[in-house]
Structure 1
Amino acid sequence: MRAFILTTIIIVIAFVVKVDLTEGSIPLAALSTKSSENGLCEQQREPNYITVQTIEGDTIHSLFALHPAKVPMTFPERLQLFYNLNPHLQLQALVPGENIKLPLSFELENKCGK
């Protein structure tokens, strides 16, 4: 009986730790110290990119090969920028006919008009 209770307690603690590590216990918005004006301006900044329409058989690798970056960057860095521009593709395959954004550099364009 003691072994069962101890096992149950360990499982509950492991579950709580897992949830805390994956979802976090402190909201990220509370950690932001930027002013609201700077925050809005910062949200409107995007890396330089081009928009392409996918066709049957396209992969992220083939699109990156067809449209090389303007500045040297590693594949993981470019892939991170790609998913920042196209968050809907995180867990989805490319669909033929879909317009997607391909990052070309790290430089951010300021869309604030200043």
Structure 2
Amino acid sequence: MRPFVLTAIIIIIAFVVKVDLTEGSLQFSAFSLKNSDTALCEKQREPNYITVQTIQGDTIHSLFALHPAKVPMTFPERLELFYQLNPHLQLQALIPGENIKLPLSFEFENKCGK
């Protein structure tokens, strides 16, 4: 009878350890999932960019044409990212010789539904 009880206890402990390792026990904690989801979405939307030096006659359109995005995105989306990376250019024209950042894609796939 002892070996049967000992075997049952070992099987139950092994099952609990397996479930804890595969599913984890953190889902029972009191973390706010909404805040962590928002932080993850913001992190996923960090743009991947390159730095280029402008020359005389460059425009935002010409720079976007020379350096196309790695993932499909609309011009307004890319322009929004451009101004996030270069906030000083919102009310200013491009100056020859200036280093600016051009967004190419997002570092992570956007799974936020935005």
TM-score, with normalisation over the residues of structure 1? 0.55
Residue type of the partner of 1:72?
P
For residue 60 of structure 1, what is the amino acid of its counterpart? I
- Which residue number in structure 1 is paired with residue 107 of structure 2? 107
4+ long deviations beyond 2 Å: none
Q: Name the structure 2 match of 1:55.
A: 55
Residues in 1 aligned to 2:99 and 2:106: alpha-carbon distance in whole angstroms: 21
The residue aligned with 1:69 is 69
Alignment partner of 1:90 is 2:90? yes
Counterpart Cα distance in 1 of 2:77 and 2:92: 19
- Amino acid aligned to 1:106: F
Gaps of 5+ in 2: 1-33, 109-114
Of all paired residues, the percent bearing the same amino acid is 87
Root mean square deviation of aligned Cα: 2.2
Aligned twin of 1:22: none
Structure with higher Rg: it is 2
- Offset of residue 34 of structure 1: 5.5
Q: Deviations over 1:46-100 (max 9, x none)?
A: 3100000000000000000000000000000000000000000000000000000
